[in-house]
Structure 1
Amino acid sequence: MFCSNAQAETYQDKIKVKVFIAAMFEIGENSGDKAGEFQHWYNQYFTDSKPIKVKGAHSPVYCNSEGVCGSVLGMGKVGSSASMQAITLSPKFDFSKSYFVLSGVAGTPPSKGTIGDVSWASWLVDYDLGHRWKAEEDEKGAPTFTPRKGYEDIRRYQLNSELLKWNLHLSQSVALKDSKEASAYRMKYPDAAARRSPAITVGTHMTGDTFFHGPGLSKQAQYIAELYNADDYIITEMEAAAIAQVLNRTVGIERIMSLRGAVNFDQGNPNETTLQHLDPAPGETAGGFAETVENIVLVGSKTVDYIVDNWDVWEKGVPKFKEE
């Protein structure tokens, strides 16, 4: 039987978490103002929930009566993973059978994605954990990154392929929202993927604390993905591989999902420099942020609801996917 927040705070019972939703930042309040990464999740699942404070976590945890919990972990590798560890080790929760949705906004290369896309990760890869040097200090055109030995077990994580099949199946009929501003902005790019309407994609999510940008570093991200025998790099973000390391040490990674919405391209269009793209003139931003953060929840909630509605099966582990 699911215990109440009041009961959990007495430590007599632990909240049995079925699905934990992790966002990285919220712009203001959890409801009623401009939505960041958590607000739509909060409005869908936690409006009647009381905050549960966890020592060492960035923000309170919220849980509903169905066993769905969520929190804002903080941005970047250290902040997000520190929060995740504090929450998973807290005596207030039972994560022994939990599924995790790592959710947030991201960037995408224009050759593979567009503003408003929602992407499920097949791999999580750390952009760092290696050696880098300036291009002029090596042969022209040579890669400027090499992995550092000793990080083989933490630099990449392949997510559960069976769970990924379920994610793609459950979200295939979701109609993604778009904006006029994003639609116009896409036309600045010649790539077919960049100019299309938002879609659900799948591939490697590349985690880096540095906001890497420009065609050169985008190419390097793809090089790293190939070097690690992962799928094509499709999303740039700042947290997932670090959170996966924490979960791998505490509860395992078989039930982790990474879900990201693209709100920017990882490089400028052919008519602007990288620095110009990083510092756009008024009115020259991509647009589509509000629609993208809503798209993330439209997609992710399909999986969350399905797991909860079929918990008698899913609590035992990810069932083998069979096309319905």
Structure 2
Amino acid sequence: MLFNHPCFLRPARWLVPALAAASIMGCATAPSATATATAPIRVKVFVAAMFEIGKNTGDRAGEFQHWYERYWKDATPITVPGALGPVYCNADGVCGAVLGMGKVNSSSSMQAILLNPKFDFAEAYYVISGVAGTPPQRGTIADVSWGTWLVDYDLGHRWAPEENTPGAPTFMPRKGYEEYRRFQLNPLLVDWAMNLTVDVPLKDSDSARTYRLRYPDTAARRSPAVTSGTHMTGDTFFHGPGMSRQAQYIAKLYGADDYVITEMEAAAIALVVKRTHGTDRLMSLRGAVNFDQGNPNETTLQHLDPAPGETAGGFAETVENVALVGTRVVDHIVRNWGQWQGGVPAR
């Protein structure tokens, strides 16, 4: 009962009156738990990277370092139980974390962060950021791609090619996974992202330029650009022209755009975000650091295990490109929060 609260108990008659008065004043002015509780951080944009090579700053950059140096060099890490690493936030509401590689690793981290009461994601935008592969028919090293669709490569039936009609796909979708296996990202948000970044000057390297010439494809030989298309999520690091054709087959089977990026996390993260806040504010941003198949003069195994000096090159430039492109969108949203807070504005 209310009158059993210590502040309502009558002081003993032997208490000094002044002491009793002080006790009552203390009760009257004691702050409530609600008033002293720390308000959750209102997240405007959350950046999700999958791995960092070493430290967050000062050494060779992985997927997170350029973002960290731009937004969180002075931020205090916030530990989140169940997440791979801490979350960093700045005063503008831009937060980010390394979630881990693969579907299970990344999605479990994302769920732990989304459900943690230290953060308010009710109005947040999301940028899934990382490196990836690309088919030489549609992309090149150091490209940066905005996802239009996220498609799961694994949810279905697959069998050995020798047990199949020669040349036919060795994949059949499994019934019951229709809402889990592909996500169309908000076309208006993709349009905003492309228009804000299509003219970003991208870094390139001599080693990448030389490596591209091993491929006959026009797309593979061009300079890096900002592109868009389907991002294919698979825990299997699939490789070779046959697997690449199968990825394109799956994309078209699901009614998605051309497959342009192979990665390992985005569809799983999208499902977690969809179940909590929806995917209208979700973006997938990937930089191509390898082709998904060898050139015509090498086998798939040779491409997977190249000799020293035979790698694509351009990794450092690509991770920088991803941040150059992504930060332009993040900065625009934060700078114009009044227009973006209620949802993606009309163009």
Shorter chain as denominator, the TM-score bin is over 0.9
Aligned to 1:141: 167
Structure 1 residue 253 and structure 2 residue 279: aligned? yes
Using the aligned pairs only, state the percent identity.
71
Aligned to 1:242: 268
Aligned to 2:132: 106
Aligned to 1:115: 141
Letter in 2 for 1:198: P
Of residues 114-123 and 165-174 in structure 1, the stretch that sits farther from structure 2 once superposed is 165-174
Structure 1 residue 296 and structure 2 residue 322: aligned? yes
Q: What's the TM-score once normalised by structure 1's chain length?
A: 0.96
Aligned to 2:31: none
User: CA–CA distance in 2 between the matches of 1:138 and 1:208?
Assistant: 22
Gaps of 5+ in 2: 1-35
Partner deviation per Cα, 1:215-272 (whole Å, 9 max, x = no partner): 0000000000000000000000000000000000111100000000000000000000
Structure 1 residue 135 displacement after superposition: 1.5
Aligned to 2:346: 320
The number of aligned residues is 312
| 1:39 to 1:278, Cα distance in 2 relative to 1, 3 A | same
The match for 1:282 among 308, 314, 318 is 308
Structure 1 residue 229 and structure 2 residue 255: aligned? yes
Contact 1:11 1:92 in 2 (8 A): no
Aligned to 2:290: 264
Partner deviation per Cα, 1:11-34 (whole Å, 9 max, x = no partner): 520000000000000000000000
Letter in 1 for 2:185: L
Aligned to 1:3: none
| 1:64 to 1:95, Cα distance in 2 relative to 1, 3 A | same
Q: Which runs of 4+ in 1 moved over 4 A?
A: none
Structure 1 residue 121 displacement after superposition: 0.3
1:1-324 correspondence runs (5 A): 12-321=38-347
User: CA–CA distance in 2 between the matches of 1:169 and 1:179?
Assistant: 25
RMSD across aligned positions (CA): 0.7
Letter in 1 for 2:230: T
| 1:59 to 1:69, Cα distance in 2 relative to 1, 3 A | same
Secondary structure of 2:297's counterpart equals coil
Partner deviation per Cα, 1:267-313 (whole Å, 9 max, x = no partner): 00000000000000101100000000000010001100000000011
Secondary structure of 1:140's counterpart equals coil
| 1:168 to 1:112, Cα distance in 2 relative to 1, 3 A | same
Partner deviation per Cα, 1:174-212 (whole Å, 9 max, x = no partner): 100000000000000000000000001100000000000
Contact 1:121 1:159 in 2 (8 A): yes
Secondary structure of 1:146's counterpart equals strand
Secondary structure of 1:86's counterpart equals helix
User: CA–CA distance in 2 between the matches of 1:188 and 1:11?
Assistant: 60
User: CA–CA distance in 2 between the matches of 1:138 and 1:79?
Assistant: 33
User: CA–CA distance in 2 between the matches of 1:273 and 1:143?
Assistant: 20
User: CA–CA distance in 2 between the matches of 1:263 and 1:11?
Assistant: 45
Secondary structure of 2:219's counterpart equals helix
Structure 1 residue 77 displacement after superposition: 0.1
Contact 1:101 1:256 in 2 (8 A): yes
| 1:241 to 1:41, Cα distance in 2 relative to 1, 3 A | same
Partner deviation per Cα, 1:43-65 (whole Å, 9 max, x = no partner): 00001101000000000000000
Secondary structure of 2:48's counterpart equals strand
Contact 1:78 1:242 in 2 (8 A): yes
Structure 1 residue 138 displacement after superposition: 2.1
Letter in 2 for 1:124: L
Aligned to 1:4: none
User: CA–CA distance in 1 between the matches of 2:164 and 2:212?
Assistant: 35
| 1:139 to 1:66, Cα distance in 2 relative to 1, 3 A | same
User: CA–CA distance in 1 between the matches of 2:277 and 2:81?
Assistant: 19
Secondary structure of 1:71's counterpart equals strand
